[in-house]
Amino acid sequence: MTWAEWVDRECDAIRLAGQWRACRELDAAGPEGVLTADRRRVVSFASNDYLGLTQHPAVIAAAHEAIDRWGAGSGAARLIVGSRPIHAELEAELAAWKGAARAVLFPTGFATNLGVLTTFGGAGTLVCSDELNHASIVDGCRLSRADVAVYRHRDVEHLEKLLADRAGRAVVVTDTVFSMDGDVAPIEELAEVCARHAALLVLDEAHAVLGPEPDLDGVDVLRVGTLSKTLGALGGFVAGPAPFIDLVVNRARSFIFTTASTPADAAAARAALAVVRSAEGDELRTRLRRHVEALAPGHPSPIIPIVLGDEEAALDASARLLEQGLLVPAIRPPTVAPGTSRLRVALSAAHTEEQVARLARALAPS
């Protein structure tokens, strides 16, 4: 079989499974825009721009100023000549935000999880991972060459048993807010278990725009975050004790062997972080919380799943919403488990109350 024949076979298999995907262009600045394929105007409920900071004037201005000063790209890896003053300034402010001694930037959140887990994993280490963790954590576990044990979703007792049965160093890694269900990990309970078993706790806080803000005293912890969701830019970071971050800088291949994030992205994220930590940031989170309450009272995050089970049911529901000008993607295997296909609603402070009410009416049983 030639490579071309193999590729054709694999593509056909994806199509036959009903899982073929293609990029969909949305010409938009903010939640409302035009799908370029058919010029349909839609309101998107699919973005992770939770606070609407991609469009904040101060964030945009900071990116422009960085381009004027340093150009479009950094031109090299951080350890060569890719570091600019804005990178270190942003790292210091991210560390302060997370209550950590140090932080280091990566070009993406995916690269951050790869770097952290390959640095602290390895032979003789047990990595315990929640079964619904993000793909970047799954791939980081695989690349770490550690022994990997998957514990049942949010099941602290199962995790405790896995740690009690192990010998050697241990890492526990979890999303704080899970990207497909929008539910929250029991962070303080996980921290207590890690403290008892001298395990390193790695938290991926990518979607934690509304919290939680747990008490993490008494446990070794690394906090992974992204610049591309709450902060509306692009990149990732990890914050923690200074020696731990020094080790990441010297060991993480996804940091060492990649071009530094652009000055514009770093500057935009720094400006966005200033907004997040201000009274305006409090107002944006309050607005986002109000949107969540309007659609799913008591739900802990702006990710609201509507589980329909069958793939065709999810696709049909998404298509019906699109006919009403509402873009809500259908999420199906392999992204989620078979039998759990769903609509995934992602709310933003940039949505208007009328847009959220319109979605609520469209989702209401007829």
Please tell me the pTM assigned to this model.
0.96
Interval 5-15 mean pLDDT = 97
Number of structural domains in the chain? 2
CATH number, domain of 86, equals: 3.40.640.10
Last residue of a domain, one of 261, 276, 291: 276
| Residue 86 pLDDT class (50, 70, 90 cuts) | very high
What is the predicted pLDDT for the residue at 365? 84
What is the predicted pLDDT for the residue at 237? 98
In this structure, is residue 297 part of a structural domain? Answer: no
- If asked whether residues 146 and 109 sit together in one domain, one would say yes
- If asked whether residues 33 and 133 sit together in one domain, one would say no
- If asked whether residues 191 and 244 sit together in one domain, one would say yes
- If asked whether residues 124 and 241 sit together in one domain, one would say yes
- If asked whether residues 87 and 181 sit together in one domain, one would say yes
What is the predicted pLDDT for the residue at 167? 79
Interval 341-365 mean pLDDT = 97
| Residue 19 pLDDT class (50, 70, 90 cuts) | confident
- If asked whether residues 257 and 307 sit together in one domain, one would say no
pLDDT > 70 fraction of the chain, expressed in percent and rounded: 100
- If asked whether residues 260 and 314 sit together in one domain, one would say no
In this structure, is residue 12 part of a structural domain? Answer: no
- If asked whether residues 243 and 318 sit together in one domain, one would say no
CATH number, domain of 318, equals: 3.90.1150.10
What is the predicted pLDDT for the residue at 15? 94
In this structure, is residue 176 part of a structural domain? Answer: yes
- If asked whether residues 222 and 355 sit together in one domain, one would say no
pLDDT > 90 fraction of the chain, expressed in percent and rounded: 96
- If asked whether residues 253 and 309 sit together in one domain, one would say no
Parent domain of 157: 57-276
What is the predicted pLDDT for the residue at 160? 96
Per-residue pLDDT reduced to its tens digit, 116-168: 999 999 999 999 999 999 999 999 999 999 999 999 999 999 999 999 988 78
User: Between the CA of residue 30 and those of 56, 60, 64, 271, what are the distances in Å?
Assistant: 10, 13, 18, 18
In this structure, is residue 8 part of a structural domain? Answer: no
pLDDT at 366 over 80: no
- If asked whether residues 46 and 61 sit together in one domain, one would say no
In this structure, is residue 287 part of a structural domain? Answer: no
What value does the mean pLDDT of the chain take? 97
β-bridge pairing 125-130 and 102-106: unpaired
What is the predicted pLDDT for the residue at 266? 98
Interval 179-198 mean pLDDT = 97
Interval 65-90 mean pLDDT = 98
In this structure, is residue 182 part of a structural domain? Answer: yes
What is the predicted pLDDT for the residue at 191? 98
Last residue of a domain, one of 240, 259, 276: 276
Per-residue pLDDT reduced to its tens digit, 204-248: 999 999 999 988 999 999 999 999 999 999 999 999 999 999 999
In this structure, is residue 354 part of a structural domain? Answer: yes
pLDDT at 354 over 80: yes
- If asked whether residues 133 and 244 sit together in one domain, one would say yes
| Residue 255 pLDDT class (50, 70, 90 cuts) | very high
| Residue 38 pLDDT class (50, 70, 90 cuts) | very high
Interval 354-359 mean pLDDT = 98
In this structure, is residue 138 part of a structural domain? Answer: yes
